[in-house]
């Protein structure tokens, strides 16, 4: 999608420069949530490009404060990040184990990957985000988009920070305060932001849209309520992500005239997932909405067949029998202009996806009208419609 900005054709496919080999796995104790090192504090800088490579932050907290007209690239993982009083700056934050807090900034371009982000009192901001929880915005004027800056080492950093690439709520913001102006960024704004990062990209030898590690989703940035909707369900396996990511590139989906709204990966009790799919295939499935929209039901093998996050993650019976019950499943939400376009994805997946173990569900499978089906999907993907 958009323009690919190649920094250096000869170095384009090289791995990102690193200060040291940082490939071994870490545990939670390696994240120094309230600790800074000499590389993780950037303050009182002007008119400069600063790049922190892999091996320089080492899971410490980051503080970026009182900077003017700077490009700042944090390529290493961190525990948390504070960005305050930065003006006319472009900042990239690699996977962050906890929260990114942004306060009192003007003319800020931020590309970030974190568990959570909170934005307060920001004027003229462009934020391109990855976050499995809803962004919080208070008294700010911002444009929102999905994180598009990706590089080869990113997948390892995501795993260290326990971030699942399929769970991204970048567009599902929640607001506080009365003085908010929030829009979704278009391609023109994205290209302007890319240009603002160019000196940092040059130093890192990376280019925009070179790697597809985070699936691109439109979220609530486009109209999905007046379109034809489709749910694809499938089980994940060891080699699943790479195969599916190739299939859902925006350029690939454009050829069959469909768009990806959202994705969700959750651990599911296998017998309940199979029961759900079997009931869909048999028809007469209005009651299947309960599998996803009854969050307070508890799982019981004898008297409950609810398929919901509460039952999947919190029940002690399941936790004690993970090998018997629990697998990870992926749900993909697609839309198209024409209902016939949805049929194209069935053939497309069958021809391209080697595992072949997927199920497509349309509104007619639930005997619902399109509005009810969208409400159902919105509950599944935690959208507020």
Rounded Cα gap, residues 132 and 34, in angstroms: 22
Q: Is residue 267 classed as helix, strand or coil in its secondary structure?
A: strand
**Who wins on pLDDT, 361 or 342?**
361
**For the chain, domain boundaries:** 28-204, 219-380
Going by their DSSP bridges, the two strands 358-361 and 228-235 should be labelled as: antiparallel
Residue 109 clears pLDDT 90, i.e. is over it:
yes
Residue 343 clears pLDDT 80, i.e. is over it:
no
Residue 241 clears pLDDT 70, i.e. is over it:
yes
**Who wins on pLDDT, 378 or 90?**
90
Residue 271 clears pLDDT 80, i.e. is over it:
no
Helices (H) and strands (E) counted in the chain, each on its own, are 12, 14
Lowest mean pLDDT among 334-338, 347-351, 353-357: 353-357
Residue for token pair 């993970």: 322
Task: Check residue 283 and give its pLDDT.
Answer: 52
pLDDT band at residue 354, thresholds of 50, 70 and 90? low
Q: Is 206 left (phi over 0), alpha (psi -120 to 50) or beta?
A: beta
The strand ranges marked E within 19-86 are 41-43, 49-52, 62-65, 71-74, 81-84
First to last CA, the chain: 27
**Who wins on pLDDT, 248 or 137?**
137
Closest to 348 (Cα-Cα) out of 265, 242, 255, 260: 255
Lowest mean pLDDT among 27-41, 102-116, 119-133: 27-41
pLDDT band at residue 314, thresholds of 50, 70 and 90? very low
CB-based contact 36:61 (threshold 8 Å): yes
Residue 367 clears pLDDT 50, i.e. is over it:
yes
Specify the fold of 28-204. Pectate Lyase C-like (2.160.20)
Question: Could you tell me the CA-to-CA distances from 20 to 36, 53, 57 in Å, in that order?
Answer: 19, 9, 11
Mean pLDDT of 70-87: 96
Give the pair of three-digit tokens for residue 160.
């260290």
Task: Check residue 23 and give its pLDDT.
Answer: 35
pLDDT digits (tens, 9 = 90+) for 200-226: 999 988 877 777 889 999 999 998 888
The secondary structure of residue 283, as a DSSP letter, is: S
Give the largest CA-CA distance in the chain: 66
pLDDT digits (tens, 9 = 90+) for 3-44: 333 233 333 333 444 443 333 344 555 555 557 777 889 999
Mean pLDDT of 270-277: 74
Task: Check residue 5 and give its pLDDT.
Answer: 31
CB-based contact 383:377 (threshold 8 Å): yes
Residue 269 clears pLDDT 50, i.e. is over it:
yes
Report the interhelical angle of 240-247 vs 339-352 (nearest 10°).
Answer: 140
Specify the fold of 219-380. Alpha-Beta Plaits (3.30.70)
Work out the number of other CB atoms within 10 angstroms of the CB of residue 263. 22
pLDDT digits (tens, 9 = 90+) for 283-307: 545 555 455 444 333 333 333 333 4
Tell me whether the CATH fold assigned to 28-204 matches the one assigned to 219-380. no
Q: Strand pairing partners for 103?
A: 84, 120
Work out the number of other CB atoms within 10 angstroms of the CB of residue 323. 6
H/E stretch holding 195: helix 187-196
Q: Is residue 340 classed as helix, strand or coil in its secondary structure?
A: helix
Task: Report the percentage of the chain scoring pLDDT > 90.
Answer: 45
Residue 327 clears pLDDT 50, i.e. is over it:
yes
**Who wins on pLDDT, 39 or 340?**
39
Residue 67 clears pLDDT 90, i.e. is over it:
yes
Q: Is 139 left (phi over 0), alpha (psi -120 to 50) or beta?
A: left
pLDDT digits (tens, 9 = 90+) for 133-178: 999 999 999 999 999 998 989 989 999 999 999 999 999 999 998 8
| Class of residue 9 by CB neighbours under 10 A (exposed 0-12, middle 13-18, buried 19+) | exposed
């Amino acid at each position: 999608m958009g323009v690919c900005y190649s920094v250096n054709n000869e170095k384009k496919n090289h791995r990102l420069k690193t200060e040291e080999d940082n490939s071994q796995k870490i545990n939670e104790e390696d994240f120094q949530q309230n600790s800074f090192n000499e590389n993780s504090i950037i303050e009182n800088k002007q008119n400069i490009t600063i790049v922190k490579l892999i091996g320089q932050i080492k899971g410490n907290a980051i503080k970026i404060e009182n900077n003017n007209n700077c490009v700042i690239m944090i390529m290493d993982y961190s525990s948390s990040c504070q960005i305050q009083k930065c003006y006319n700056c472009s900042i990239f934050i690699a996977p962050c184990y906890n929260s990114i807090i942004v306060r009192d900034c003007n003319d800020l371009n931020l590309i970030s990957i974190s568990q959570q982000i909170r934005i307060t009192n920001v004027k003229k901001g462009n934020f391109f985000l990855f976050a499995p929880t809803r962004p919080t915005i208070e008294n700010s004027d911002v444009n929102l988009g999905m994180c598009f800056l990706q590089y080869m080492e990113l997948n390892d950093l995501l795993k260290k920070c326990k971030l699942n690439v399929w769970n991204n709520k970048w567009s599902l913001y929640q607001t506080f305060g009365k003085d908010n102006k929030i829009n979704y960024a278009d391609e023109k704004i994205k290209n302007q932001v890319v240009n603002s990062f160019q000196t940092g990209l040059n130093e890192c030898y990376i280019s925009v849209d070179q790697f597809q590690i985070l699936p691109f989703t439109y979220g609530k940035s486009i109209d999905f309520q007046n379109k034809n909707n489709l749910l694809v369900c499938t089980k994940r396996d060891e080699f699943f992500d790479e195969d599916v990511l190739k299939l859902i590139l925006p350029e690939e989906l454009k050829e069959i005239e469909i768009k990806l709204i959202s994705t969700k990966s959750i651990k599911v009790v296998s017998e309940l997932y199979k029961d759900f799919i079997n009931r869909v295939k048999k028809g007469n499935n209005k009651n299947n909405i309960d599998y996803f929209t009854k969050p307070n039901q508890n799982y019981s093998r004898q008297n409950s067949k609810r398929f919901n996050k509460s039952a999947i993650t919190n029940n002690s019976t399941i936790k004690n029998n993970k090998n018997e019950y629990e697998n990870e499943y992926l749900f993909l939400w697609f839309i198209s202009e024409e209902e016939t376009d949805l049929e194209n994805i069935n053939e497309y997946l069958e021809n391209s996806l080697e595992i072949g173990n997927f199920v497509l569900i349309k509104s007619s499978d639930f005997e619902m009208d399109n509005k009810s089906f969208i409400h159902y999907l919105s509950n599944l993907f935690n959208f507020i419609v």
